[in-house]
Copies of this chain bind each other. A is one copy, B any other.
């Protein structure tokens, strides 16, 4: 969430460019989403100012936990999911911060655990070079284990709260975690008891081999870039099989592909909206695609397919495998030109340009075929694109019995159909 997923949104939309710093703006969006009974607000995180961030408002410039904490006060049912890096945080601080949000929101928090691959960020944290991809994931695994163990360090009923008897907590139900691993040494316990949902919902977004392994082991939601139904279906099947092989119930892991809906009252109007957004973006979407696939922008020709061999030849590639692989696959399977790819692949995610019916059809197909358990909406422009979705697409999905008329539970975990964490201490 920011001024919109589309890089031209800030110039196309009504409202000031400074809205991305304004709490009223975020509150309006959260309330529209909550009125429509969407499950959660999901915020990204950016730990450096890149050159690109001087060209337009930056998704993630504000600390997402700060924004979501403010939204905890102005909403009551919608989930609040913050992205936060396992590469540049201390696990105790992060566990406590998310647990605090979970308490104040009465069990509506989620944590999207990401590894960070941006050299601009490393320069802000005294790290000369970033660890290569697999090493980042090794660290992420240990980090996630520590955070979850801290979240479970108070068992249910540990907070007694007996004022008359003077018994605040039951020490027998509060456990240090005594973690001493390769990268972290953390004694615990956390400063906070379990929240109404046990602990924040654990979200991950890795699509590489290591990313999938981590997700299968611990994620409850997986956010993924999938541009074709077949690829999404395969990805979901693979992830759930891995989870099952580790003794988990595959239903405990929900796979949510990202989707960029560009909705119009007619297809022509939707295409016009996209063309206007594109006009304001200039070549920014092309530059972003080049970075995502790891080649210079000069290697891309709008009227030719992606240079797949050149992409594969880049052995230094250290960024998100999910985005790169989705773009390559779409190119190879459908023979798209870069121009066509940009149309279908909105900033790396599936883009659907059309009427509310078109979008509802696409979502329904993915959902009913088992390619998706739901979707992460990447709204083109905020709040207008969200209103087009909630006013147009949501009612159609409800008619088809595919979307909730109201929240079914009080916590994010309940609303997502996820089970509470076990009531046992978990030492990593």
User: Chain A interface (Cβ within 8 Å of chain B)?
Assistant: 10-11, 16-18, 21-23, 26-27, 46-49, 51, 53-58, 60-63, 65-67, 69-74, 88-90, 92-93, 96-97, 100-101, 103-106, 120, 123-126, 159-164, 166, 168-169, 171, 174, 184-193, 280, 282
Taking CB atoms, residues of chain B closer than 8 Å to A96 are 47, 63
Given A11-B163, A62-B100, A174-B54, decide whether A92 and B191 contact each other with a Cβ distance below 8 A: no
Supplied contacts A48-B191, A63-B96, 15 more A-B pairs, CB within 8 Å:
A17-B162, A17-B163, A18-B161, A21-B104, A23-B105, A26-B104, A49-B188, A63-B93, A66-B100, A69-B69, A74-B74, A90-B90, A90-B125, A124-B187, A166-B280
Which of B17, B70, B163 touches A70 (beta carbons < 8 Å)?
B70
Which of B11, B60, B66, B93 touches A101 (beta carbons < 8 Å)?
B66
Taking CB atoms, residues of chain B closer than 8 Å to A26 are 104
Q: Is the CB of A104 within 8 A of B66?
A: yes
Q: Which partner residue on chain B sits nearest A120 by CB separation?
A: B187
Q: Which of A69, A162, A171 has the most CB of B within 10 A?
A: A69
14 contacts between A and B (CB under 8 A): A17-B159, A27-B73, A54-B169, A54-B171, A55-B168, A56-B168, A61-B192, A62-B100, A62-B191, A65-B66, A70-B70, A124-B188, A126-B185, A166-B280
Which of B21, B47, B168 touches A10 (beta carbons < 8 Å)?
B168
Given A17-B168, A125-B92, decide whether A67 and B104 contact each other with a Cβ distance below 8 A: yes
Q: Which partner residue on chain B sits nearest A192 by CB separation?
A: B61
Taking CB atoms, residues of chain B closer than 8 Å to A74 are 73-74
Taking CB atoms, residues of chain B closer than 8 Å to A160 are 17
Q: In the docked arrangement, what's the CA distance between A61 and B99, Å? A: 10
> Shortest beta-carbon distance, A118 to chain B, in Å?
12
